[in-house]
Structure 1
């Protein structure tokens, strides 16, 4: 498996009270645990099982994902701009690894 990377599209600036769209995609193989390797042994399940977005430490969205998620999952959602600060996206996988992306958003 390649090292997962996160691509985001998040506005750097917003007006107070403005609704902004947040888009993110992580490159992740999402192995379901159903396939077998060349020796007939089952490959271990390894999927992104949780996605969390926080803004200034406050939860914006949290989602539990299951085996039906595709490889390289994409997420898009909206948030209300209240105060400047870091917007953190965190993708959790079955191995306990957490892949994060942090973007500073300025609210005017």
Structure 2
């Protein structure tokens, strides 16, 4: 799985940061069949997603094969300022992991 799957929009207001995030991922459950071959498509989905701001975890979620394609999350955390960095770390069911860093705008 390639990196660069996280799409983020942020807004800082009244000492809080609102984050809207989408993970561009197929989220294959392993229960769907290929229409041409009739074979099951192997399971490949995001298992974990963690967001860190200034060494503090501000969001974490465990996912499974029943989550739809391109999962979308919205959350708010106390603090944050324009220019601060958010670190997004995800783990795929294949064991692959990656970290992406986004600046708060």
Q: Which TM class, normalised by the smaller chain length?
A: 0.7 to 0.9
| Mapped partners of 2:38, 2:4: distance in 1 | 26
Aligned runs of 1:7-26 on 2, under 5 Å? 7-11=7-11, 14=12, 18-26=15-23
> CA-atom RMSD, angstroms?
2.7
Q: Name 1:76's counterpart in structure 2.
A: 74
Provide structure 2 residue ranges, at least 5 long, that are not aligned to the other structure.
Answer: none
The equivalent residue for 1:41 is: 39
TM-score, length of structure 1 as denominator length:
0.76
| Cα separation, 2, equivalents of 1:2 and 1:101 | 11
Q: Which residue of 2 aligns with 1:96?
A: 95
The 2-side partners of 1:34 and 1:58 are apart by 37
* Alignment pair present for 1:58 and 2:50: no
Q: How many residues align?
A: 103
Partner of 1:32 in structure 2?
Answer: 29
